[in-house]
């Protein structure tokens, strides 16, 4: 028998086990909702991105079922051949109105929206100026573009300015930030970055994955939140988190979007959404436009939960969003905190290197609009008990 050429991967996995960083996937065997059943245990769920509870909203469910009955379960092709259905165009039209931009293109995911956009608009002669904590899909897009990548320390406008000052005026520049940083829950400094983009002639891009449906009027995102309309050239959003389904979108000028239709590789080479996904997203936009009080409930729960953690003395960092990290030092400690919380009936995922820096391991919590105060208080009580046990408070 020949030796397994993949045996080196087993060695790597064993290293993870020794470091207490090996994770098996938690399996959800109920709906994705405020209290869910993972691995057979019913727990208060603080780990989903289902901010508004839309994964199970009756209007979205009905829209998906109706679209399946009308149009079937698959699109059968990529968008640029036979896979553009009227419902895909309708979703893009609705998103453009929602975002108040000329046009929108929808991708299969937020990941492909970022990677496909950045990689198609830049070449090796160009440069990206990128926040150190920007999402992996942005980093991959930058690498695929072969542009030079200049990383500035997290949210450090002065450092970004220094980078920009050293670049030739003639070089094409993309200045890029997350709207909400997914592991810390803080906001990108959009007003200051827009000023820099204008001063140095950069293309300005924001990835609003965790802001879509959460920040701005009716969940329009951080550009709306900061009143930066017209100053951000490229807005990426996701349809996979607060919107409750799956997908990513890019909003901007008509010609920019038309260019992506011609050049963004995930758009050209990967099959479009099933019609039910597009229908679900359209129904989600109806909910955001017609029932914005759902977003108020999200923020009410966010304030309650954060205040509870802070009052007990946990280190929650600089979060400004429904994402609240609870710092625990090194990776194995964060995993221990997460495991003990799970035993106490609370699911809050531990996050360690390489997702975050080695000494910044944490448990990440995300509340939703659909959690009751009782569920949140139950979770706070569990944090209090386990936090004392592990000497975090």
Ligand X SMILES: *Cc1c(COP(=O)(O)O)cnc(C)c1O
Interface positions with ligand X (CB under 6 A): 109-111, 114, 135, 137, 178, 182, 207, 209-210, 238, 240, 248
Closest approach of ligand X to the CB of residue 328, in Å: 21
Q: Which position's Cβ is nearest ligand X?
A: 110
User: Is there a catalytic annotation at residue 306?
Assistant: no
Q: How far is the CB of 184 from ligand X (least distance, A)?
A: 11
Query: Taking the complex as a whole, how short is the minimal distance between the CB of residue 276 and ligand X, in angstroms?
Result: 17
Q: Would you say 216 and 208 are in contact if contact means Cβ atoms under 8 Å apart?
A: no
Q: Is 210 a catalytic residue?
A: yes
DSSP annotation string for 267-287? HHHSBPPPHHHHHHHHHHHHH
Q: Minimum distance from CB of 238 to ligand X (Å)?
A: 4
Looking at the Cβ atoms of 224 and 375, the one nearer to ligand X is 224
Q: Which residue has the tokens 């679900």?
A: 280
Q: Which is nearer to ligand X, 189 or 248 (CB)?
A: 248
Nearer to ligand X, 75 or 117 (CB): 117
Q: Give whichever of 138 and 386 is closer to ligand X, judged by the CB atom.
A: 138
CA atoms within 13 A on the CB side of 185: 22
Do 138 and 118 meet the contact criterion of CB atoms below 8 Å apart?
Answer: yes
Sheet with 148-152: strands ordered across: 103-107, 248-252, 234-238, 203-207, 173-178, 127-131, 148-152
Q: Is 321 designated active site? A: no
Q: How far is CA 344 from CA 20, 316, 334, in A?
A: 20, 20, 15
**Between residues 94 and 210, which has the closer beta carbon with respect to ligand X?**
210
Question: How many whole angstroms from its chain centre is CA 70?
Answer: 31
List 155, 173, 210, 360, catalytic entry: 210
Residue 173's contacts (CB-CB under 8 Å, 6 or more residues apart) are 126, 127, 128, 129, 164, 167, 200, 201, 202, 203
For residue 355, the minimal CB distance to ligand X (Å) is 11
Catalytic residue among 135, 150, 155, 241: 241
Catalytically annotated residues: 182, 210, 241
């Amino acid at each position: 028998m020949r030796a397994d050429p993949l045996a080196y991967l087993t060695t790597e996995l064993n290293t993870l086990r020794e470091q207490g960083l090996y994770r098996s996937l938690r399996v959800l065997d109920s709906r994705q909702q405020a209290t869910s059943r993972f691995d057979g245990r019913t727990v208060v769920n603080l780990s989903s991105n289902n901010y508004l509870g839309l994964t199970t909203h009756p209007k979205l469910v009905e829209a998906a079922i109706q679209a399946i009955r009308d149009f079937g379960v698959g699109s059968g092709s990529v968008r640029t051949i036979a896979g553009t259905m009227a419902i895909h165009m309708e979703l893009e039209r609705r998103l453009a109105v929602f975002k108040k931009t000329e046009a929108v293109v929808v991708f299969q995911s937020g990941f492909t929206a970022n990677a496909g956009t950045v990689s198609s608009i830049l070449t090796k002669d160009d440069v990206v100026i990128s926040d150190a904590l920007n999402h992996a899909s942005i980093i991959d897009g930058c690498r695929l573009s072969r542009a030079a990548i200049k990383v500035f320390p997290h949210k450090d406008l002065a450092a970004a300015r220094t980078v920009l000052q050293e670049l030739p005026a003639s070089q094409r520049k993309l200045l890029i930030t997350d709207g909400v940083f997914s592991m810390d829950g803080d906001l990108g400094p959009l007003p200051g970055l827009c000023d820099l983009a204008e001063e140095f002639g950069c293309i300005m891009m924001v990835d609003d994955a965790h802001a879509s449906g959460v920040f701005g009027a009716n969940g329009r995102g951080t550009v709306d939140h900061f009143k930066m309309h017209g100053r951000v050239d490229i807005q990426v959003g996701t349809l996979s988190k607060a919107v409750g389904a799956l997908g990513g979108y890019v909003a901007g000028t008509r010609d920019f979007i038309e260019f992506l239709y011609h050049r963004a590789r995930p758009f050209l080479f990967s099959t479009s959404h099933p019609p039910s996904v597009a229908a679900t997203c359209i129904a989600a936009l109806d909910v955001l436009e017609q029932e914005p009080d759902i977003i108020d409930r999200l923020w009410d729960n966010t304030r309650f939960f954060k205040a509870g953690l802070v009052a007990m003395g946990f280190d929650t960092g600089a979060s400004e969003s429904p994402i609240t990290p609870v710092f625990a030092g090194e990776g194995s400690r964060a995993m221990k905190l997460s495991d003990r919380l799970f035993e106490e009936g609370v699911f809050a995922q531990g996050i360690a290197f390489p997702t975050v820096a080695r000494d910044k391991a944490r448990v990440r919590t995300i509340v939703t609009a659909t959690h009751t105060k009782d569920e949140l208080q139950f979770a706070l009580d569990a944090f209090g008990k386990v936090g004392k046990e592990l000497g975090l408070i």
